[in-house]
Amino acid sequence: MVREIIENDFEEIALFLSEFSDQRFSKEKYLNDFNFWWKDNPSFKDDTFGWIIEDGSQGNTIKGFLGNIPVEYELDKSNIMTYNATTWYVHPDYKKEASYLAMAFFTQGKDFLLNSTPSKFTEKIFLKLGCKDYAATQQSYIKIESVSSIYNFISKKIKNKLISSTISFVIFYFIMFTRLLTLRKDDFELKVVDNIDMFKRKENKLYIKNLNWILLDNDKKVFSISNKKEQGYIITQFIYNKVNGMRYIQVLDFDISLKTLDSVTDSIISYYRKDVDFILISNYNMNKRFSSNFINITSVLRPICLVKSERSINNKIITSIFGEKGFILWK
C-alpha cells in the first residue's frame, strides 16, 4: 500500500535508501537531507513529507519512496509556492507499484509541481501526467578546467583508453592555448555575500525566497561582482559526482554578462579551495556553439525542468536555482 510519510518513518526510509538507491549514500546522509528538506526548510508548513510503498508482510516494510519538498520563489513581488519531487526509488520487486507514488504526488492538491532532476524513465511518466518542460529551449555550457573532464565525455564515445586519453590531452592543451590568446584582465571586485537583496531584480525572473536556507550548505556561495561598468551577483554550488568522479562548480544563477563571468571563474574556484574539472552553466537562454571560453554541451547534458501548473510562467526567466537541483544537498 501507498501512504503519506510520518516523522517516525525517517530512520527506516534512510535505511531503505542507503541500501536500494543507485547513489548508495549513507543512512546518516539521508537523515541530514530530511532535516534540510523539511525541518530546516522555512517553506515547509504542515506539508506532506512524501509517500512510501509499504508491505507489512515483509521484515523491512518500506519498499518505495518519493519525497516532496516545498520551496517558495519570488516573482514580481509575489510568492510562488512549488512542490518538488525528489529521490524516487522503488525496490526492484515492487516496480509495478511505482506509479502509485507518482499519482500521490500529482493528486496532493497543490499548484506548481516540479521535477528538475528526472531520469529518462521518470521524465516520460511526468510528461504523460501533464508536466511541461520549461527548460526545453535552454542550453548547457561548460568551461573546461582539466583533462579529466574531456576524457569523461570522450571515453563514453570511444572505448579505447589510449585513444581517448590522447585525444583528451590534444583538445585540452589546444583549449588552454587559445585561452591564453584571449586572456584579459578586468578589475572586478568579487566577494562572498549572504543575500541578493542589494541587487536590482528583474521583473520576469524567479528568485528563491529563502536564500539563507540553501546557504546552509557550505558548498553553495553567493558572490557580488562589480566594477565601474557592471554590478551583479553569481550563485554557485560545488558538486562532487561519485558516479563519474567529476568535481565541478555549477552556476545556479547570475545577472552579469557571460564574458564577465568567464573573467572571474578562477577567482570563484579559489574561494572553494578545491580541485575543479569544469564550470557548468545549465538552463541558460542563449544558443551558440561557443561563447567566451564556454562550450555548448546541450547534446550530452540537456537542461530540464518539468512543471505542472494551471498557471503559466512561459515568459519568465528560468534558472538552475528553480527546482530541486538549485537547493538539494549534493554531497
* Same domain, residue pair 94 and 218: no
User: What crossing angle do the helices spanning 147-154 and 161-181 adopt, rounded to 10°?
Assistant: 130
CA 280 and chain centroid, separation: 11
The pLDDT of residue 84 is: 96
- Is the CB of residue 68 less than 8 Å from the CB of residue 105? yes
In a shared domain, residues 163 and 294? yes
E runs forming strands in 19-111: 50-54, 62-75, 78-90
Are residues 151 and 117 part of one domain?
no
Give yes or no: residues 159 and 299 share one domain.
yes
For residue 71, being part of any structural domain is answered with yes
Cα torsion at 188, 193, 195, 198 (round to 10°)?
-40
Cβ count within 10 A of residue 261: 21
| 292 & 173 share domain | yes
In a domain, 319, yes or no: no
105, 173: one domain = no
Distance CA 254, CA 265 (A): 13
| Predicted local distance difference test score (pLDDT) of residue 184 | 67
181 within a domain of the structure (yes/no):
yes
Q: Report how far apart, in Å, the C-alpha atoms of 325 and of each of 69, 114, 329 are.
A: 12, 11, 9
Are 67 and 86 within one domain? yes
Radius of gyration of the chain (CA): 21
Q: Is 64 domain-assigned?
A: yes
pLDDT at 252: 95
Single out the residue in 82, 110, 132 at which a domain terminates.
132
Kindly state whether residues 112 and 203 are assigned to the same domain: no
Q: Residue 185 has what pLDDT?
A: 66
**SS3 state at 153:** helix
- CA dist 242 and 111 (Å) reads 34
- The boundaries of the domain holding residue 265 are 139-303
Task: Tell me what pLDDT residue 271 has.
Answer: 95
CATH code at position 76: 3.40.630.30
Do the domain assignments include residue 327?
Answer: no
Rounded CA gap, 147 and 168, in Å? 6
Predicted local confidence at residue 243, as pLDDT: 78
Q: What is the pLDDT along the chain (331 residues), one digit of tens a residue?
A: 888 999 999 999 999 998 877 767 889 999 999 999 999 999 999 899 999 998 876 666 899 999 999 999 998 888 999 999 999 989 888 888 888 999 999 999 999 999 999 988 889 999 999 999 999 999 999 999 999 999 988 888 888 889 999 999 999 999 998 888 777 666 889 999 988 888 888 989 999 999 999 999 889 999 999 888 888 999 999 998 877 889 999 999 999 999 999 999 999 999 999 999 999 998 998 888 988 899 999 988 899 999 999 888 888 899 999 999 888 866 5
The total domain count for the chain is 2
Q: What is the pLDDT of residue 330?
A: 61
pLDDT of residue 266: 93
CA gap 30, 38 in Å, rounded: 12
Cα–Cα separations (whole angstroms), residue 14 to 11, 44, 67, 328? 5, 20, 12, 16
* 148 and 188 assigned to the same domain: yes
Q: Which of 115, 132, 149 is the last residue of a domain?
A: 132
* DSSP H stretches of helix in the chain: 10-20, 27-34, 98-106, 120-128, 147-154, 161-181, 211-214, 258-263, 265-272
CATH of the domain at 298: 3.40.630
- The reply to whether 322 falls in a domain is no
Distance CA 272, CA 238 (A): 8
Same domain, 122 and 226: no
Domain assignment present for residue 190? The answer is: yes
Cα separation, 268 vs 236, whole angstroms: 9
Domain end among 105, 132, 159: 132
Shared-domain flag, residues 81 and 213: no
Same domain, 62 and 208: no
CA distance 209 to 231: 21
Asked whether residue 323 is domain-assigned, the answer is no
